[in-house]
């Protein structure tokens, strides 16, 4: 049995895995850090990836659905998806709407397609927290999202092989 607090290893290979990274670029510097962490984790696992950039977190679900559906059933089909974004609390209820609906939306897309998904949408109180979590040397939430997607892909392949 796995250790309770052990992070999934990015170096466990995932043969022929093709991953879509969908990133919300509302906060460019935070997005860049998260993308860096995700790309490193995928490369370490031997997975290939493509990146699509979207304006914000609310656009992630539909953007992912467009791209995944466009290539489904073709040699370019994706095995997993990693979503990256950041929602920082402001002074209005808008934070709750964006945080909840973007996460719900990407989960709806993943569940409807049985697509392994790593959710890297940060929901934080301020930019300092966002930078801490996004930085690959400190929080590495982009890398964590990629490792989560790969862990689900490994599980999917294992149970489908039975």
What's the CA gap between 119 and 16, in Å, rounded? 21
Instruction: Order across the sheet with 117-124: list the strands.
Output: 48-54, 18-24, 80-88, 117-124
Mean pLDDT along residues 53-81: 97
pLDDT of residue 7: 52
Q: Which domains does the chain have, with CATH numbers?
A: 18-160 (3.40.50.960)
Say what the pLDDT of residue 110 is: 97
Q: Is 49 noted as a catalytic residue in this protein?
A: no
Q: Cα dihedral angle (124, 130, 135, 137), rounded to 10 degrees?
A: -60
Q: Smallest Cα–Cα separation from 68: which of 8, 138, 116?
A: 116
Catalytic residue from among 43, 94, 104, 138: 94
Is residue 3 pLDDT above 60, yes or no? no
The tens digit of pLDDT for each residue in 96-138 reads 999 999 999 999 999 999 999 999 999 999 999 999 999 999 9
Give the CA dihedral 120, 123, 127, 130, nearest 10 degrees.
Answer: -30
What is the bridge-based pairing of β-strands 117-124 and 80-88? parallel
């Amino acid at each position: 049995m796995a250790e309770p607090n052990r992070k999934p290893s990015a170096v466990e290979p995932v043969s022929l895995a093709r991953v879509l990274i969908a990133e919300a670029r509302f906060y460019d510097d935070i997005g860049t850090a998260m993308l860096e962490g995700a790309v490193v984790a995928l490369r370490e696992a031997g997975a290939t990836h493509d990146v699509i950039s979207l304006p914000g977190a609310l656009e992630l679900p539909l953007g992912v659905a467009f791209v995944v559906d466009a290539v489904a059933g073709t040699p370019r089909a994706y095995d997993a998806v990693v979503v990256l974004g950041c929602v920082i609390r402001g002074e209005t209820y808008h934070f709750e709407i964006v945080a909840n609906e973007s996460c719900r939306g990407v989960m709806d897309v993943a569940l409807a397609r049985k697509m392994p998904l790593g959710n890297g949408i940060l929901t934080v109180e301020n930019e300092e927290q966002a930078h801490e979590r996004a930085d690959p040397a400190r929080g590495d939430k982009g890398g964590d999202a990629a490792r989560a997607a790969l862990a689900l892909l490994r599980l999917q392949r294992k149970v489908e092989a039975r």
